[in-house]
Amino acid sequence: MDFERSYVPTIEQAFETQASLRGRWHRLASADSNPSAKARKAVVAWKFELPPNAVKCPNVDELWVLLDDHFPYSQPRVLAPSLREDSCDWPHIEDAGLLCLPSTGLRDCPGLRVLRHLEDALQLLNLEEADRKRDFQSEFATYWARGDAGKPLPSHWSLATPVGPSREVFRYHSVEANRHIWADTKPELEHWLRNAGRNPSKKSIEGAWAVWLPEAPTPAQFPKLGSHVLALIPSEAQARLIHPGEKLPILMGAPTANGPVWVAAILDIASERDLQNGFRSGRIPFDRAKASMAARPVRRLKVERIDGPYVHGRDRNEQYQALSRKRVAILGCGSLGSSIARILAQGGVGSFMMVDDDIMAAHNTSRHSLGSKTIGLLKADALADSIEADFPHQGKHIRLKRRVENLTRKEWEEVAECDLIVSAGIDFPGDMRIAAWRMSVENPPPHVCTWVEAFAVVGHAVALFGRDDLGILFDADGKPQIAMTHWPDTTPVLFREAGCGNSFQPHGAVDLQRTATTAATLCLDILVGTVADSCRRTWQGDLTKLTTLGGVPSPDFQVSNTESCWPWDALASASSG
């Protein structure tokens, strides 16, 4: 121990100011007698003797305060050395008796911080029974999986909706990944697996069982033996689920104050060889197998929820259900389009139509959402594959591997079924083809057209509804009449690739991302109904960068790093004027 640390006098002086602590504390020469790793790492520690009946928690007559080498930039830890997390019927007890307490401010006085932790420790150890039950139930999943020090256990992921009643579900077991994946239906599970790049065989998906409890149990109520879990499963389901020599995973769930939770229980069983005992292989009586499972300890595991409502907001995203039913057509899967598509996928949009005939090149990867492993692949395919693999719970994405101008009538009919069209950074003829098609159909989907000006200092996202025509914003040469930057003829804004005729703008991912975010936000606003009229949003970047590069801002561009919005009527009148 190192009691020469500068904060020690301040802390010990704080102890003496408290009548309840005065004379009841002393320095610890070592905390090595406690098995906690945090105790062994303590550089300063004190022991506090508690008066009789000071706390309701049984067998606690002393507390230790531990400070590690990082204090005051770490939290003081309070330890009740007589408690253990796996044998204590008290909430918030961690490894070897460490108490899980609220954090204190790093800039507060060290002495006051330690006193606050001691006060919180005493309050915790004096919780009433109802409060203890409430805290156990609110962190049900955490307590469920504690105390298993056996060999590594399989991970469990669940697509199943966390609600009652108890029911049949389906389970896929990946031996290679040592993982079980659960779902309410077989098609849902097959869809997820194929999107994730797996090709499940018919036998790899099995019927399983989910137990839904009316309330979360406390640790004292957790099942200890297989018989405790089997009592929750109908006998006819048991007959389908129990197989000699095979462990039986069961999905279990319950509501908590913080939302519904899934956990898993593994029911062990004797080997088929041990169960035979005079019976021929395949003729082992069901009752014999069930009795073996009922008498063995249960292993309890946490379950990772991978269903859409949890992935996209942990059950707190009120827009998810609406967004999950939407399909967006991304016309142009380059750097801007791919970034918008990924933001929308992360936001919860259910499916996409990717339209592009271009192939990924090495120079694309510095600002495209896809990396070097997709070089040489069609952008529409690679982008769809990437989003399907990263969000396998979402829908299957359509890929149209051609330029917008070359879409067939049937393909345009598929575009018409989308909830939103996004044209991102495509050329002027492509956008005009979209505009002409929208004028030719009775109820066209909304269209967001997005592009950047030179060096991506300014980005535009124009939303079009009904018969509003994108063409009025451009002159006959395809130049936007709403530009917010102007460039003298002596200032180059396009550059030629070495050894070929392709031209490019030398902006990077950071410059482009601001426009992608502006455009994606407008798309989400349209999809959830908060924007229902044509308008334009712009991202105005760094004025200093603009002028350094030789550009001149328009009168509308006077503030750096800001977003602006204009109603369509103002745009239409300004363009016609």
Quick one: pLDDT band at residue 264, thresholds 50, 70, 90? Answer: very high
Characterize the bridge pairing of strands 420-424 and 327-331: parallel
Spatial distance between the Cα atoms of 405 and 421, rounded to a whole number of angstroms: 15
Spatial distance between the Cα atoms of 372 and 369, rounded to a whole number of angstroms: 10
Of the candidates 366, 325, 531, the one whose C-alpha atom is nearest the C-alpha of residue 448 is 531
pLDDT of 270 strictly over 70: yes
| Contact criterion met (CB below 8 Å) for 118 and 17 | no
pLDDT of 94 strictly over 90: no
Question: Which pLDDT score, from 0 to 100, does residue 273 have?
Answer: 73
Least confident of 30-44, 293-307, 560-574: 30-44
DSSP count for the chain of H helices, then E strands: 19, 24
Cα torsion through 328, 333, 336, 339, rounded to 10: 60
Quick one: pLDDT band at residue 279, thresholds 50, 70, 90? Answer: low
Please report, rounded to a whole number, the percentage of residues in the chain having pLDDT higher than 70.
95
End-to-end Cα spacing for the chain: 80
pLDDT of 267 strictly over 60: yes
Residue with token string 């399907």: 388
Spatial distance between the Cα atoms of 77 and 117, rounded to a whole number of angstroms: 8
Of the candidates 320, 323, 358, 319, the one whose C-alpha atom is nearest the C-alpha of residue 337 is 358
Characterize the bridge pairing of strands 205-212 and 167-174: antiparallel
pLDDT of 88 strictly over 60: yes
Across the range 348-356, mean pLDDT stands at 98
Quick one: pLDDT band at residue 77, thresholds 50, 70, 90? Answer: very high
pLDDT of 575 strictly over 70: no
Spatial distance between the Cα atoms of 553 and 328, rounded to a whole number of angstroms: 33
| Contact criterion met (CB below 8 Å) for 318 and 295 | no
Question: Which pLDDT score, from 0 to 100, does residue 282 have?
Answer: 60
SS (H, E, C) 131-145: HHHHHHHHCHHHHHC
Residue with token string 């379950």: 303
Across the range 107-118, mean pLDDT stands at 95
Give 150 or 97, the one with higher predicted confidence: 97
pLDDT of 117 strictly over 70: yes
Question: Which pLDDT score, from 0 to 100, does residue 32 have?
Answer: 67
Spatial distance between the Cα atoms of 360 and 342, rounded to a whole number of angstroms: 17
Question: Which pLDDT score, from 0 to 100, does residue 150 have?
Answer: 55
Question: Which pLDDT score, from 0 to 100, does residue 45 have?
Answer: 94
Question: Which pLDDT score, from 0 to 100, does residue 555 have?
Answer: 94
Across the range 354-365, mean pLDDT stands at 95
pLDDT of 234 strictly over 80: yes
Spatial distance between the Cα atoms of 88 and 59, rounded to a whole number of angstroms: 10
Task: Give tens-digit pLDDT for 385-431.
Answer: 999 999 999 999 999 999 999 999 999 999 999 999 999 989 999 99
Question: Which pLDDT score, from 0 to 100, does residue 149 have?
Answer: 53
58 to 34, 52, 89, 394: CA distances (angstroms): 19, 11, 10, 50
Of the candidates 102, 50, 48, the one whose C-alpha atom is nearest the C-alpha of residue 76 is 102
Question: Which pLDDT score, from 0 to 100, does residue 508 have?
Answer: 84
Across the range 306-331, mean pLDDT stands at 97
Question: Which pLDDT score, from 0 to 100, does residue 183 have?
Answer: 98
Strand locations in 465-527, DSSP E? 485-486, 495-496, 503-504
Across the range 528-537, mean pLDDT stands at 97
33 DSSP assignment: T
Quick one: pLDDT band at residue 574, thresholds 50, 70, 90? Answer: low
Give 569 or 242, the one with higher predicted confidence: 242
pLDDT of 87 strictly over 80: no
pTM of the predicted structure, to 2 decimals: 0.90
Q: Which sign, positive or negative, has the C-alpha torsion 344, 350, 353, 354?
A: positive
Question: Which pLDDT score, from 0 to 100, does residue 44 have?
Answer: 94
pLDDT of 577 strictly over 60: no
pLDDT of 254 strictly over 70: yes
Mean confidence (pLDDT) of the chain: 92
Of the candidates 387, 386, 341, 334, the one whose C-alpha atom is nearest the C-alpha of residue 364 is 334
Question: Which pLDDT score, from 0 to 100, does residue 9 have?
Answer: 95
| Contact criterion met (CB below 8 Å) for 168 and 208 | yes
Spatial distance between the Cα atoms of 564 and 320, rounded to a whole number of angstroms: 26
Spatial distance between the Cα atoms of 405 and 411, rounded to a whole number of angstroms: 11
Domains of the chain and any CATH numbers? 8-127 (3.10.110), 144-306 (no CATH), 320-576 (3.40.50.720)
Q: Which sign, positive or negative, has the C-alpha torsion 23, 29, 30, 33?
A: negative
24 to 21, 48, 199, 455: CA distances (angstroms): 5, 6, 66, 69
Token readout for 201 is: 């065989």
pLDDT of 206 strictly over 60: yes
Q: Which sign, positive or negative, has the C-alpha torsion 74, 32, 16, 52?
A: positive
| Contact criterion met (CB below 8 Å) for 252 and 215 | no
Quick one: pLDDT band at residue 506, thresholds 50, 70, 90? Answer: confident
Tell me how crowded residue 494 is: count the other CB atoms within 10 A of its CB. 9
